[in-house]
Amino acid sequence: MTFQQPKINTSPHVSDEVRKTTCYMCACRCGINVHMKDGKVAYIEGNRDHPVNQGVLCAKGSAGIMQVNAPSRLRKPLKRVGERGSGEFQEIEWDEALQIATDWLAPIRKDDPSKLAFFTGRDQSQSFTSFFAQNFGTPNYAAHGGFCSVNMAAAGIYTMGGAFWEFGQPDWDHTKLFMLFGVAEDHDSNPIKMGIGKIKARGARVIGVNPIRTGYNAVADDWVGITPGTDGLFILSLVHCLMKAGKIDVNYLAQFTNAPCLINGDEKSPEYGLLLRDENGKELVIDRATGKLTPFDQKGVKPDLTATHRHAGISHRTVMQHMAERYLSDEYAPEAVADRVGISAKRIRTLAAEIARVAFDEAFELQQEWTDFRGETHKTMQGRPVSFHSMRGISAHANGFQTCRALHVLQILLGTVEVPGGFRFKPPYPKPATAHPKPHCGVSPDKPLDGPHLGFVHGPDDLALKEDGTPARIDKAFSWENPMSAHGLMHMVISNAYAGDPYKIDTLFMYMANMSWNSSMNTRGVIDMLTDKDDNGDYVIPRIIYSDAYSSEMVAYADLILPDTTYLERHDCISLLDRPICEADAAADAIRWPVIEPDRDVRGFQSVLCELGAKLGLPGFTNEDGSQKYADYGDYIVNHERKPGIGPLAGWRMGEDGLTNGRGGVNESQLDNYIDNGGFWVGHIPDEALYYKPWNSAYQDWAVGMGLFDSPQPYLFTLYVEPMRRFQLAAEGHGDRQPPDHLRERIKATMDPLPIWYDPSPDNHGDDYPITALTQRPMAMYHSWGSQNAWLRQLHGHNPLYLPTKLMRENNLQDGDWAKVTSPHGEITVPVLEMAALNENTVWTWNAIGKRKGAWALDENAPEATKGFLLNHLIHELLPPKGDGLRWANSDPITGQAAWFDLKVRIEKAKAPSESQPAMEPIKSPVGKGPMQLTWKVGK
């Protein structure tokens, strides 16, 4: 019998319409094509024209359809009617919800705006939320950077005027060696995957430095399974090897960095250790041509790296000399560090040699003329094809700032930043720390704050302190405890508010921040703080307002819930004022727009702030007649101007002769212009401005035209970070603003203006708890909100604790056994699984898979709620007590970054319990449970 092949339709109808918007599953912000059928979302794919993802899309992005139809979506504003934590709510109308919020917030603003603490979690509208907080007048505002990766951001900006995060990228088209430190998945999620694919296709090498060999490290050509927390020591050993071999870019260092700048060598001077400057504040160098002291930026100057300036019997030496003295020391020789970093001396040398080989033997030039800030024209662009990327892994340690600094110093010594083949900034970076705002904390009743909350300090004068020297902010950001805390310390807000240290607050207002679960250290303790009452029977933290789109664990702990929309039901702008979607070759920004309307009584949180701001009479949110200024967030995006001609979106602004980009007036059709263009705008950087941006006149001029700066801002990379020295000087007794005595020695030791490494493990009782415990998010869930996604939870519904072979054997453990894991703070009992490709003294698990029973519309028997667990129970927001009665934050002493990855534990085999321990009681769900079965086909 001959088989008759069926005829099938190979050209079926795909969709009625494609609506192009921006994904919101993570900080990557890819362009997406949302295919619509019958007015419903039928399929989501990447937008090929989009600068970020060029058509590709990760698992989260493709699973967006399950995020939009999730049963855990909140449906209506909620007012708490039971005790906090009971989950007893009453659904209310929006009018009532907004009136309650107004009645709580208006008196605070009138008397003392600092009684409001307003913090946002996975927010991507910080320029807007901070605008609200600033108008309200509270100093207590930040987003989640402080508990995420502020070390990486702050070290990058203080050192080179730009950071990794999503703010820069390797030169994927030219790099030949790509080295990743502590990156599992990243903000630049799809671009890194695309980049790795691209460079591997042409045979370039990837080196992964990470205690865990998963994801990018699994495909790395070489894996360096470093001991957690020792990256800084390893990097400084690479620096030692490279300097000793002369494998540094001498010309680059002399021209573009503060290596030739002179350091005041007068031990008796209050400026000892600061840079010599002229009367205009310009750093001074010795010109090799004339031998004279001269400002660094003069035409024709050839800065001398080795000069010494003798004056009044004092020798002032260059930064380079100080670096040679420190890093050539045997203290940093591979043999001296090998045991601590867990990498053999021979391997350290080999890695250093490979870096040297590629940076110098494979150097190349692009035939592109450019002119530097001194007015010198270069015929070509020198390329050094070694690039680095790093993120939370090296950042979330108490030594993270100095470690991140060390990595940037390594990049700069090699001359691989902003050069072909190296690491490149994306607009609005490069932008030196000095071009950022300073923190503001000037509070007046009934008035806005005196300036932006967050910024970059340059010495004790910039700290956010009250007149009595105590911290002005509830999170103690920009205080002597952590002076350079550029992103605030969200992880300390509840703990400090509960302790009344530095003061009590009235209302805690949070957005997308799961503080009663995986976003807090010491989860159980935080829950207790949220529910504890004082002697009068009042909650210690009197009022909590919370906005979220989903039934997260935090919902039960708020008094008023403002339900947010999903990402396809809202306006947003991914703005140059904030965290845009730029590429190294282009400025770019994007919008989200409601490609579907909510089928619930929910409102975009930012639109709610527009209304709430007006009800409170905040000046930025009201017209002169007192009426509401912005109807909603979309209206704000179009009509708000930060200063004349500069708004949230840079594309399609109104110029004198029609539409223009960058600077320009309000264009009422701007959102339509974005929608017509696929939801984004791109403005390309001219060819002669593509590299050497901090020093490239063509780039500086382009950036001014675009509105990124008001005037050209060329600067030197700061191998030596002078602001840190100013804090040391204060600790040594100089100046009026003095640290408390108990912090003096720590400031002197940690605020070294050249990178150092110190061991955080003694503070975490590393002798008694010798194993480091880490977490990472799976790629399919990185930075996403909620693992209740029906498709993604089938990929990552379980999170065993992965143990290296050695620890499995030592503890007589088999796959599926249970172990008790103990830290100085607490203990958990969890299932274990062996993993061989893992540092032998490290254990890890997937973060935030564990869910509380009753949350996220999951069944109470869901594996996330029974076998899933959080390491957070083992981590305290404070270090173990030192016996001095003081509360020492478990944070980097420089930036306040939460030191998640300093967690030290012990492990022992345990009898299998019925569920992971601690098992917490269920919370009542405000949304019920999800359906049993899904057959999600929207087309006929």
In the complex, minimum distance from the CB of residue 347 to another protein, in angstroms, rounded to a whole number? 6
Distances in whole angstroms, Cα of residue 571 to Cα of each of 23, 604, 625: 12, 8, 26
- Pair of tokens at residue 290: 């004339």
Q: Which stretch binds another protein (CB under 8 A): 298-306, 368-376, 583-591, 768-776?
A: 298-306
In the complex, minimum distance from the CB of residue 800 to another protein, in angstroms, rounded to a whole number? 13
CA distance 795 to 772: 26
Looking at beta carbons, which pairs linking 275-280 to residues 24 or more positions away fall under 8 Å? 275/720, 275/722, 276/309, 276/316
DSSP tag of 845: E
- For another protein, the closer of residues 615 and 929 by Cβ is 929
DSSP tag of 622: B
- For another protein, the closer of residues 205 and 744 by Cβ is 205
Please state the three-class secondary structure of 536-560 as a single string: CCCECCCEEEEEECECCCCHHHCCE
Cα–Cα nearest to 725, from 156, 158, 307:
158
For the segment 389-408, give every residue that binds another protein (CB under 8 A). none
Q: Which residues pair with 364 in a beta bridge?
A: 383
In the complex, minimum distance from the CB of residue 393 to another protein, in angstroms, rounded to a whole number? 16
Q: Which stretch binds another protein (CB under 8 A): 164-172, 451-459, 667-675, 829-837?
A: 829-837
Q: Which one of 251, 298, 669, 814 is in contact with another protein (CB under 8 A)?
A: 251
In the complex, minimum distance from the CB of residue 273 to another protein, in angstroms, rounded to a whole number? 18
Q: Which one of 222, 501, 732, 908 is in contact with another protein (CB under 8 A)?
A: 222
Query: Angle 386-387-392 (CA atoms, 0-180°, nearest 5)?
Result: 150
857 binds another protein (CB under 8 A): yes
Distances in whole angstroms, Cα of residue 224 to Cα of each of 211, 239, 354: 7, 17, 14
- For another protein, the closer of residues 43 and 364 by Cβ is 43
In the complex, minimum distance from the CB of residue 190 to another protein, in angstroms, rounded to a whole number? 5
For the segment 52-81, give every residue that binds another protein (CB under 8 A). 53, 55-63, 65, 71
Which amino acid does the sequence have at 337?
V
929 binds another protein (CB under 8 A): yes
> Helical H runs in 74-125?
94-111
For the segment 191-220, give every residue that binds another protein (CB under 8 A). 193-194, 196-198, 200-201, 207, 213-216, 218-220
- Pair of tokens at residue 708: 């990124």
Cα–Cα nearest to 650, from 32, 28, 127:
127
For the segment 18-57, give every residue that binds another protein (CB under 8 A). 35, 37, 42-46, 48, 53, 55-57
- For another protein, the closer of residues 84 and 384 by Cβ is 384
In the complex, minimum distance from the CB of residue 197 to another protein, in angstroms, rounded to a whole number? 4
Residues 6 or more apart in contact with residue 479 via CB below 8 angstroms: 463, 464, 465, 470, 471, 472, 473, 485
- For another protein, the closer of residues 499 and 790 by Cβ is 790
- For another protein, the closer of residues 92 and 328 by Cβ is 328
Kindly tell me the burial class for residue 138, based on how many C-beta atoms sit within 10 Å of its own C-beta (0-12, 13-18, 19 or more): buried
In the complex, minimum distance from the CB of residue 380 to another protein, in angstroms, rounded to a whole number? 15
- For another protein, the closer of residues 742 and 806 by Cβ is 806
919 binds another protein (CB under 8 A): no
- For another protein, the closer of residues 510 and 801 by Cβ is 801
- For another protein, the closer of residues 103 and 221 by Cβ is 221
- For another protein, the closer of residues 335 and 641 by Cβ is 335
Q: Residues in contact with another protein, total (CB under 8 A)? A: 117
Cα–Cα nearest to 632, from 658, 680, 598:
598
356 binds another protein (CB under 8 A): yes
- For another protein, the closer of residues 56 and 821 by Cβ is 56
CA distance 405 to 720: 10
What DSSP string describes 90-104? Answer: EE--HHHHHHHHHHH
- For another protein, the closer of residues 51 and 647 by Cβ is 51
376 binds another protein (CB under 8 A): no
- Pair of tokens at residue 120: 């946002």
Q: Is the dihedral of CA 607, 670, 427, 753 positive or negative?
A: negative
837 binds another protein (CB under 8 A): yes
247 binds another protein (CB under 8 A): yes
Cα–Cα nearest to 485, from 451, 519, 513, 457:
457
Rg (CA), the chain: 27
Distances in whole angstroms, Cα of residue 831 to Cα of each of 151, 519, 913: 32, 22, 9
13 binds another protein (CB under 8 A): yes
For the segment 300-319, give every residue that binds another protein (CB under 8 A). 302, 304-306
244 binds another protein (CB under 8 A): yes
- Pair of tokens at residue 344: 């053999």
In the complex, minimum distance from the CB of residue 410 to another protein, in angstroms, rounded to a whole number? 15
379 binds another protein (CB under 8 A): no
Cα–Cα nearest to 778, from 341, 259, 216, 396:
216
10 binds another protein (CB under 8 A): yes
Q: Which stretch binds another protein (CB under 8 A): 93-101, 138-146, 168-176, 791-799?
A: 791-799
